[in-house]
């Protein structure tokens, strides 16, 4: 499965014909087919190409909404080094 860095994920912002991908709990979903993600924007406040794990906690829906979207990869977070 493809691994995305945050920078790579940001490319899939749903604008100018690009696919709209969003990350949730380490998984990357393709939400391009969703009416609610037209032009990479969701309910005014959320943009595609980003990790929305934290944002979902404030949302008026649960993670079950992702069930209908294909998983296209996993999100590789920046490595943190121990000092």
Partner 1 sequence: MARVAREMVEKAGINVDQLVELLVKNAAAELTTYYYYTILRCNLIGLEGEGIKEIAEAARIEDRNHFEAIVPRIYELGGKLPEDMKIFHDMSACPPAKLPEDPTNVKEILKVLVEAERCAVRGYTHICNMTSGKDHRTYDLALAILNEEIEHESWFSEFLGEGPSGHFMRRGETSPFVSKFLK
CA angle 66, 68, 73 (to 5 degrees): 65
**Between residues 31 and 75, which has the closer beta carbon with respect to partner 1?**
31
DSSP 28-83: EEE-TT-GGGGGGEETTTEESSEE-HHHHTTSSS-GGGGGGS-EEEEE-PPPPPP-
Residue 7 binds partner 1, judged by CB under 8 A: no
Residue 82 binds partner 1, judged by CB under 8 A: no
**Between residues 58 and 82, which has the closer beta carbon with respect to partner 1?**
58
Instruction: Tell which positions 14-43 bind partner 1, by CB under 8 A.
Output: 35-36, 38, 43
Q: Is 5 helix (H, G, I), strand (E, B) or coil?
A: coil
Residue 71 binds partner 1, judged by CB under 8 A: no
Binding residues for partner 1, per CB under 8 A?
Answer: 35-36, 38, 43-45, 58-61
């Amino acid at each position: 499965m493809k691994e995305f860095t945050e920078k790579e994920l940001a490319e899939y912002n749903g604008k100018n014909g690009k696919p709209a991908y969003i990350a949730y709990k380490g998984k990357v979903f393709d939400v391009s087919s969703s009416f609610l993600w037209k032009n990479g924007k969701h309910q005014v406040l959320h943009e595609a190409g980003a990790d929305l794990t934290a944002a979902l906690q404030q949302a008026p829906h649960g993670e079950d909404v992702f069930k209908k979207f294909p998983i296209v990869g996993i999100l590789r977070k920046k490595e943190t080094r121990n000092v």
